[in-house]
Amino acid sequence: MKAIKFVLLVFLGSIVLTGCGTSSGTAATSDSSGRAKAADSLRKVTTVTAAEMPLEQLIVVTGTLAAEQEIVLGMKVAGRISELPVDLGSIVQKGDVIARLDTTDFDLRLRQSAAALEQARVRLGLPPTGTNEDVDLERTSLVREARATMEGTRFRLDRASQLYEKGLMAKSDFDVANSAYKVAEAQYADALDEARNRQGVLSQRKSELEIARQQLADAVLYAPIGGSIRQRSANVGQYVSAGTPIVNVVQMNPVRLRTDVPEREALNIRTGMLVRVNVEGTSTVHEGRVVRLSPSVDEANRTLLVETEIPNASNALRPGSFARAEIVASSSQRGIVVPAAAVVSFAGIDRVFTVRDGKASEVRIKTGRRTDAGIEILEGVASGDQVVINPGNMTDGESVAVTGK
């Protein structure tokens, strides 16, 4: 009996010990699993280091694009338009024909002037055609005739004087011979003057011929610059006076950007500075250079007029467009920059989240310039701080797990 009781006691003890061992193992396993689940429930975040880097000092301005040149073209002579091969938007190169006038009247005037020139040459004893205009006035027929008459009367006066001195001629006859010589002398001088006058007429006729040729050439209007037709103000068949506007031509390449820079920032602007330009309605950035500065500040609004020249070979920029520009005043400044995705803005307050001892810490910041590299931080974050990327609805003090940098 005693042996049976001992066996029963051993069996019951084994059961108790087995039960206790199972309970302890289960408790240990449950505690480890809980810690793992708690770690898995932490919010996983990615951080980036706030770094100090070079920043450009930018002067942000707005302005209006203008053509490099805009010219209103008209004819130099009056006439009726026979050809007008351009219209609104037409692209023209320097020297292209813009308009032509009917040349009938100009051709007739040219022929008339040429005939008058030939007549003037003949009156001076020159061939009708040619370029030689050297004339010896003493050899012209008019002067030779007057000189011959004067020499004949002088010969008669000399004989009359001899006869009068010998008492063989009456005083009245001598006076007649003397008067005839003076008349002939005056006629000779008048002939010289007439010859000189004919020389002047020759020069006048030559000028009239050149004018007629020039008017014929001016019956064709050429483009003085390359560009585009902004406006056409005449039509084929229309009679136009000299100077009447026919077309407006604008030079599209390059274009100018005129901007008013505040006086306090204008001190930093120099010619040659880089300017980045954005035009309303497009995201393309065009680059240009500051080429001109006004010599004085506008007293009314305390601004300085600055002109930027922007290449426009593709004619993508249109004069008259509104534009925003960034003038790069300096590239030597440095600042702390974080990615734009790290900054949270709400109700006008900018914030970032840093990670310290496994917890998120909300930091209010003051932002500066926005660049391609990120956003400049003026206050709140120091170089080397770890900031959270895309914090979303993260709260201050929230436990987080950093998964990468």
DSSP 237-286: T-EE-TT-EEEEEEEEEEEEEEEEEEHHHHTT--TT-EEEEEETT---EE
Of 299, 332, 365, the residue that ends a domain is 332
Domain membership flag for residue 343: yes
Question: How many domains in the chain?
Answer: 3
Of 332, 361, 394, the residue that ends a domain is 332
pLDDT digits (tens, 9 = 90+) for 255-267: 999 888 888 888 8
Of 200, 218, 236, the residue that ends a domain is 218
Bigger pLDDT: 15 vs 169? 169
pLDDT of residue 331: 66
Which pTM was predicted?
Answer: 0.60
112 and 211 both lie in a single domain = yes
Across 151-167, average pLDDT: 91
Decide if pLDDT at 76 tops 90: yes
Question: Which CATH number do you get for residue 320?
Answer: 2.40.30.170
259 and 323 both lie in a single domain = yes
Instruction: Please list the alpha-helical segments (H only) found in 246-398.
Output: 263-266
273 and 313 both lie in a single domain = yes
Q: Helix, strand or coil for residue 363?
A: strand
Lowest mean pLDDT among 70-74, 290-294, 315-319, 373-377: 373-377
Question: Which CATH number do you get for residue 356?
Answer: 2.40.420.20
Q: Helix, strand or coil for residue 324?
A: strand
pLDDT of residue 151: 92
Which phi and psi angles does 365 have, rounded to 5°? Answer: -130, 165
Across 269-286, average pLDDT: 86
On whether the CB atoms of residues 269 and 262 are closer than 8 A, the answer is: no
Q: What average pLDDT does the chain have?
A: 83
Instruction: Please list the alpha-helical segments (H only) found in 42-139.
Output: 104-123
By CB atoms closer than 10 A (0-12, 13-18, 19+), residue 350 is middle
Which of the 8 DSSP states describes residue 342? G
Domain membership flag for residue 89: no
277 and 171 both lie in a single domain = no
Cα distances from 329 to residues 57, 273, 287, 333, in angstroms, run 5, 7, 14, 10
By CB atoms closer than 10 A (0-12, 13-18, 19+), residue 331 is exposed
289 and 202 both lie in a single domain = no
Domain membership flag for residue 97: no
279 and 212 both lie in a single domain = no
pLDDT of residue 56: 67
Q: Which residues constitute the domain of residue 287? A: 60-69+250-332
376 and 284 both lie in a single domain = no
Domain membership flag for residue 87: no
Domain membership flag for residue 261: yes
107 and 210 both lie in a single domain = yes
Cα-atom radius of gyration of the chain, to the nearest Å?
A: 52
pLDDT digits (tens, 9 = 90+) for 352-372: 888 887 888 888 888 877 777
Domain membership flag for residue 34: no
Domain membership flag for residue 371: yes
258 and 209 both lie in a single domain = no
pLDDT of residue 344: 85
205 and 143 both lie in a single domain = yes
Domain membership flag for residue 15: no
Which among 113, 112, 137 has a CA at the least distance from the CA of 125?
137
188 and 282 both lie in a single domain = no
pLDDT digits (tens, 9 = 90+) for 81-125: 999 999 998 999 999 999 999 999 999 999 999 999 999 999 888
Element (H, E) at 288: strand 285-293
pLDDT bracket for residue 17 (50, 70, 90)? very low
How far does Cα 232 stand from its chain's mean position?
A: 22
